[in-house]
Structure 1
Amino acid sequence: MNEIIFFGYNKYPKLFKNKPNKITKPIQFKFENENENENEKQIKQISSSFFSTIFLFENGKAIEYLSENDSNENPVKIQIEENIQKVTVGNENEAILTIEGNVFAKGININPYNPNEFINISSLIEDTNDRIIEDIVSGSRAIYLLTSNQNVYGIGSNQFGQLGFDSKTLPKTENPILMMKNVSKIFSGNSSKYVFLLNLNQELFVCGNNEYGQLGLGESRKEETKIQKLTKIQNIPKGKIIDIQCGSIYSIMLIEIEDQNQNPKRKLYSCGDYQYNGLGKNDEDTYEFTEIKSSLFENDNILDFSVGNAHTLILTSNSKLIGFGYNEYGVLGTGDTKDQSIPIQIELPKLRFNEEIFNYHISCGFDKSFLYYSPFFFFQS
């Protein structure tokens, strides 16, 4: 049982034969010409960036569409012997987390001598007691690993200090380097040269590219284009941080709070540069996280959301799909290519499993958008 809805840039890689490069209205995605009838297997996760898209199935297998395969437009099975539990794709890297806790990755900043070959980067961690990995996240040029001991390691480019070290003394590393201890969650994005780390005390730290104020450090820090040391964010909204999704020039945070009746309520906050209309509000640049308000979801609970390079999609408990931001390639599914500065509702085709909207999830690639049915999803908490 499978359902995937797609809209956006149908190139790099090309996912649909005989379709235009810009698909501006949501259409159903179907796998074609695969050898083992993958379309009858349950989708678990989709991760996409500019040059590649990976589909992970519940059976622990994954297939990938690559831009260099556009000539035959067929997916390639990822040859990893262990069962895969998560995939993550950045603009210049890919990583796979297996059920056994190993991480295989590839990319020019991971394996410069053979960037198309997956290598076991978790085995390169110097501390042998820290090689079991619980979570992985890709940034644009770096990969972050959360170990079973709640330690975070980074590997790849440190051009903007996104590994938490001075970029002049450590411009990049091909071995995982310890960034921070006592971490509960990692947040970055496929086009982001920065990272947020949430510690076990719900304190939020950040480092990397701050050229557009996307790190949420406030007005006084907006001139610092590089934050090369993990820095605590002082002014964050009160509540439980559920997720942070990172674009190239802005960040969006999902917070859960209790209302007057002690019912949980989720709210969205954004910070960064207003360019490309990515903040979800008719406003100027915002250098601290401030709430995104809209009548479209003020009475609904937010089930899931995702951020691409410069666009955002939101799924609500009232079966609404809402979007805003950059739309040159039709990634908002509105039928046109007009940017949207404030949230708008997106008209969807009839979903086969609409009565189970809680089991639908969103994944935004660099210039792509996916809505997919996945009843077993790790994000919801």
Structure 2
Amino acid sequence: MNEIIFFGYNTYPKLIKNKPNKIIKPIQFKFENENENENEKQIKQISSSHYSTIFLFKNEKAIEYLKENYSNQNPSKIQIEENIQKVTVGWQNEAILTIEGNVFAKGKDINPKNPNEFINISSLIEDTNDRIIEDIVSEKPILMMKNVSKIFSGNSSLHVFILNSNQELFGCGWNKYGQLGLGESRKEMKIQKLTKIQNIPKGKIIDIQSGNFHSIMLIEYQNPKRKLYSCGYYRYNGLGKDEDTYEFTEIKSSLFENDDNILEFSVGNYHTLILTSNSKLIGFGDNYYDELRNGNTNTQLSPIQIELPKLRFNENISNYHISCGL
């Protein structure tokens, strides 16, 4: 079985029981049922946020540890038995993508009547042109989404994105600050039906990550050349610009022009980090705890370069990964 090491903030969710709220020295996390088949506990993916952690295993099953908001109770352990290929956990929402291409999600802004129950949101598509009718057996029309390929959320987000194999993007959830990229004409606080995101940049969508009030998209073009686009509320956030943006628009900076190519990026609640192919670490957003390592606590609305530690043994920068917390 994979070894799971846990450290950091241990209040929501409290994966490690009977331990302090802040774990400085890393400790090992073990699943409660030691009699389970070890071969079935090979981990494929872990997704975690403020209240929830989901472990996805190679046998296409998952276990969720869910903390009930500010309760002092230990987290609930929930078995998820679907045929799952990917999971994603946001601030107060979770989504799973099944082998069959269905997307199940839960959260107060997705399923207000029962926020702890997974519902099939593949059927909740706003535009009838993007629906197909299936399920002949029950003789009931079930509206399903076509060919879901990826799902995206963020460790501090309240909204969800879904991408199909035709590179069509849909979103639902919290939208008070335009973080779904639906345009200035769509300012509803909550979007409870999957809605197509129009006017997205042409190119291949590689990744989308979200904070509470903003979203950032990575697009790949030929050569390959990658560009970042963002939307949402700019103040104190990792939006990479100094004004609110209601559609996905390019983040421009001389720090990743010309020969630079973006390897990966990570979004926290209020800041963003970018790693480029020529060993640059770039960041922007809130810096209250010196997350950007520039020696002060000033908010950086535009991208700045962050000093990287020297690489070990001339190791290739592509072997490194970055991840933002809240």
TM-score range, shorter chain: 0.7 to 0.9
Match of 2:174 in 1: 209
Q: Is the 8 A contact 1:132 1:148 kept in 2?
A: yes
1:343-373 deviations in Å (ceiling 9; x for gaps): 110012212154310111111110xxxxxxx
1:358 paired with 2:318, answer yes
Tell whether 2:247 aligns with 1:288: yes
Specify whether residues 115 and 216 from structure 1 end up closer, same or farther in structure 2 by C-alpha distance, changes over 3 A only.
farther
Alignment-mate amino acid for residue 79 of structure 1? K
Residue from 51, 63, 88 that aligns with 2:5: 63
Q: CA offsets, 1:203-254, max 9 Å, x none? A: 10000111111110001012x1111111001110000000001011010000
Q: 1:339 aligns with which of 299, 306, 310?
A: 299
Give the 5 Å matches for 1:246-257. Answer: 246-257=210-221
Match of 1:219 in 2: 184
CA displacement at 1:73 relative to structure 2: 3.4
Q: What letter matches 1:338 in structure 2? A: N
Q: Structure 1 residues 107 and 277, CA, compared in 2 at 3 Å: closer, same or farther?
A: closer
Tell me by how many angstroms 1:69 deviates. Answer: 2.5
Give the corresponding residue for 2:203: 239
Provide the C-alpha distance between the structure 2 equivalents of 1:202 and 1:327, rounded to a whole number of angstroms.
34
Q: Does 1:73 align with 2:24?
A: yes
Residue 22 (structure 1) aligns with? none
Highest relative contact order (Cα 8 Å, sep 6+), 1 or 2? 1
Aligned residue type for 1:73: I
- Greater shift after overlay, 338-347 or 64-73? 64-73
Amino acid in the other structure paired with 1:63: I
2:126 equivalent in structure 1? none
When normalised by structure 2's length, the TM-score is 0.82
Distance, in Å, in 2 between the alignment partners of 1:95 and 1:353 is 35
Q: How far apart are 1:70 and its partner, in Å?
A: 4.5
SS in structure 2 at match of 1:173: coil
Deviation digits for residues 53-102 of structure 1 (CA, Å, limit 9, x no counterpart): xxxxxx72212222452476343423235111211111111111112111
Q: Name the residue aligned to 2:15.
A: none
Letter in 2 for 1:91: H
Whether the 8 Å CA contact 1:109–1:142 is kept in 2: the answer is: no
Name the CA distance, whole Å, in 2 between partners of 1:213 and 1:72: 36
* 1:172 match: 115
1:160 to 85, 98, 109: 109
Q: Deviations along 1:87-122, whole A, 9 cap, x unmatched?
A: 111111111111211111111359x996524331x2
Q: Provide the rounded CA distance (Å) in 2 between the counterparts of 1:115 and 1:306.
A: 29
Pairing 1:85–2:62 present: no
Amino acid at match of 2:273: L
Distance 2:25 2:322 in 1: 23
> Are the aligned partners of 1:315 and 1:322 in contact in 2 as well (CA < 8 Å)?
yes
Correspondence 1:6-25 to 2 at 5 A: none
The question of 1:348 aligning with 2:313 is answered no
- Cα offset, 1:291, TM superposition: 0.3
- Answering whether residue 268 of structure 2 is matched by residue 303 of structure 1, we say no
Q: Which runs of 4+ in 1 moved over 4 A?
A: 112-115
User: Matched residue of 1:363: which SS?
Assistant: coil
* Percent identical: 57
| Structure 1 residues 365 and 221: CA distance shift in structure 2, 3 A | same
Q: Distance in 1 between matches of 2:95 and 2:68?
A: 13
The 8 Å contact of residues 60 and 85 in structure 1, kept in 2 or not, is answered as no
Q: Does 1:104 align with 2:46?
A: no
Quote the Cα distance in structure 1 between the aligned partners of 2:98 and 2:67: 23
Counterpart amino acid of residue 193 in structure 1: L
* 1:144 is the counterpart of 2:95: yes
Tell me: CA distance 1:354–1:153, structure 2 relative to 1, closer, same or farther (3 Å): farther
Corresponding letter in the other structure for 1:116: P
Decide whether the 8 Å contact of 1:242 with 1:254 is kept in 2.
yes
1:95 aligned onto 2:54: yes
Instruction: Give 1:141 shift.
Output: 1.2
Counterpart in the other structure of 2:148: 183
The C-alpha deviation readout for 1:154-173, integer Å capped at 9, x for no partner, is: 13x2x223xxx5x2xx2413
Aligned length: 284
Residue identity in the other structure for 1:361:
H
Where does residue 288 of structure 2 map in the other structure?
A: 328
Cα separation, 1, equivalents of 2:99 and 2:73:
29
Pick closer, same or farther for the CA change 1:225–1:254 going to 2, 3 Å: same
Q: What secondary structure does 2:254 align onto?
A: coil
Unaligned runs of 5+ in 2: 12-18, 32-37, 123-144
- Whether the aligned pair in 1 keeps the contact of 2:238 and 2:267 (CA below 8 Å) is no
Structure 1 portions without partners, runs of 5+: 1-58, 124-130, 367-381
Code of the residue aligned with 2:30 in structure 1: it is Q
Helix, strand or coil at the partner of 1:341: strand
